[in-house]
Amino acid sequence: MTPKDIDWSNLGFGYIKTDKRFVANYKDGKWDDGALIEDENITMNECACVLQYAQTCFEGLKAYRTENGDVVCFRPDLNAKRMADSCERMKMPVFPEDKFVEAVKAVVKANADWVPPYGTGASLYLRPYMFGSNAVIGVKPATEFQFRIFATPVGPYFKGGVKPLTIRTCDFDRAAPKGTGHIKAGLNYAMSLYAIVDAHECGYDENVYLDSATRTYIEETGGANVLFVTKDNKVVTPKSDTILPSITRRSLMQVAADYLGLETEQRKVRLDEVSDFVECGLCGTAAVISPVGRIVDGDNVITFSSGMEKMGPTIQKLYDTLTGIQMGRIPAPEGWICKI
């Protein structure tokens, strides 16, 4: 496939091989310089730590084509920092944050033809990741690692684009207190696969997880943080040590306060108060802000007053402002846009 074969406006969220990816190797206590390569396949030992004990973590960010034709990334320094946090928790060597950002830029530049045209709703998704690559059979960290970044053009994460989603509270847990919910470890996603397949089979778009200690508070979904809007237009997001600190959510809270003049609050959100909110959205790099029309909790069906047809007005304003900043239509706060 080449960029010319793509129907950009109808692209889903899937993998398409692009031209170049970045690869660096860690051995004998240090990272090599890394390089851009063409081969998308990886050969490794059958006993590699990642294959046996899931020693791997990853990131996700996007490159956009702006209104004036520039190619930009959104806050890659925060992905570099979060990956460093993930690596420390997973006993993996940190890939230096400045080199992470340089490698992101190099991958985007090398795949510039794959950055979707402005106005199509598509973007170039970048997936940095690291894994323990040498053979390990006793339970211990690897001593050799590979860091890679590939790029793939994507459209909306949820089918149907911006049509409100129906999600359900999940009977399974995502993250334990003092576990790995706050980092982007592959294992968090492996254990969500059973629940997501079951949710889809039961007709739901996603699972929203509750805190595993008490099952009374809203946490997040399998791949996004949650935002709520109150009747008096305050933007509320759950506070928890066991959810991923979403860069999109942190940015949206700042957009709500500084661009839209809204009150914002990060606090614990009880499941039994969700019916008091008027709008709900899922936010993340892949999800952007996807509106939630309904949350099903057993027999209790909570339908937000924004309804099942379109985004609520406040979520819409947040969406328009954030995507406006990313696409160069609205001036960005200092340091948010990284021009390639």
Contact footprint for ligand PLP (CB under 6 A) = 60, 220, 223-225, 244, 246-249, 284-285
Cβ closest to ligand COI, residue 50 vs residue 262: 50
Task: Find the shortest distance in angstroms from Cβ 173 to ligand COI.
Answer: 17
Both tokens of 283, joined, read 């936010």
Residue ranges in 51-70 that form contacts with ligand COI under rule CB under 6 A: 60
Nearest to 107 by CA among 92, 122, 124: 124
- Backbone φ/ψ region at 29: left (φ over 0), alpha (ψ -120 to 50), beta: left
Cβ closest to ligand COI, residue 76 vs residue 223: 223
Is there binding between residue 223 and ligand COI (CB under 6 A)? yes
Q: Which residue's beta carbon is nearest to the bound ligand PLP? A: 284
Q: Which residue's beta carbon is nearest to the bound ligand COI? A: 60
DSSP bridge pairs for 155: none
Residue ranges in 280-309 that form contacts with ligand COI under rule CB under 6 A: 284-286
Signed CA dihedral, 190, 93, 48, 146: sign only: positive
Cβ closest to ligand PLP, residue 25 vs residue 127: 127
Which burial class, exposed, middle or buried, applies to 14 when counting CB atoms under 10 A from its CB (0-12, 13-18, 19+)?
exposed
Size of the site for ligand COI (CB under 6 A): 5
Task: Find the shortest distance in angstroms from Cβ 16 to ligand COI.
Answer: 15
Using DSSP's 3-state secondary structure scheme, residue 105 falls into helix
The answer to whether residue 184 is catalytic is: yes
Judged by beta carbon distances under 5 to 8 A according to partner kind, the member of ligand COI, ligand PLP, none in contact with residue 246 is ligand PLP
* Spatial distance between the Cα atoms of 55 and 73, rounded to a whole number of angstroms: 27
Cβ closest to ligand PLP, residue 50 vs residue 183: 183
* List of residues 6+ apart from 32 with CB closer than 8 A: 24, 25, 26
Q: Could you say which of 99, 184, 234, 310 is catalytic? A: 184
Task: Find the shortest distance in angstroms from Cβ 236 to ligand PLP.
Answer: 16
C-alpha count within 13 angstroms, C-beta hemisphere, residue 88:
8
Cβ closest to ligand COI, residue 223 vs residue 293: 223
Q: What spatial distance separates the first Cα and last Cα of the chain, rounded to whole Å?
A: 24
Task: Find the shortest distance in angstroms from Cβ 249 to ligand PLP.
Answer: 6
b/e per residue, 123-132, with b = 16+ CB within 10 A? bbbbbbbbbb
Task: Find the shortest distance in angstroms from Cβ 59 to ligand COI.
Answer: 7
* Binding segment toward ligand COI, per CB under 6 A, in 18-26, 41-49, 107-115, 278-286: 278-286
| Residue 161 DSSP code | T
* Spatial distance between the Cα atoms of 319 and 239, rounded to a whole number of angstroms: 21
Q: What is the distance, to the nearest Å, from the Cα of residue 166 to the centroid of all Cα atoms in its chain?
A: 19
Q: Please give the torsion angle defined by the CA atoms of residues 32, 36, 42 and 44, in that order, rounded to the nearest 10 degrees.
A: -10
Task: Find the shortest distance in angstroms from Cβ 159 to ligand COI.
Answer: 14
Judged by beta carbon distances under 5 to 8 A according to partner kind, the member of ligand PLP, ligand COI, none in contact with residue 306 is none
Is there binding between residue 245 and ligand COI (CB under 6 A)? no
Is there binding between residue 192 and ligand COI (CB under 6 A)? no
Cβ closest to ligand COI, residue 86 vs residue 285: 285
Task: Find the shortest distance in angstroms from Cβ 154 to ligand COI.
Answer: 9
Cβ closest to ligand PLP, residue 181 vs residue 312: 181
DSSP for 51-96, written as a single string: HHH--EEE--EEEEE-TTS-EEEE-HHHHHHHHHHHHHHTT-PPPP
Element (H, E) at 194: helix 193-201
Q: List contacts with ligand COI (CB under 6 A).
A: 60, 223, 284-286
Q: Which residues are catalytic?
A: 184
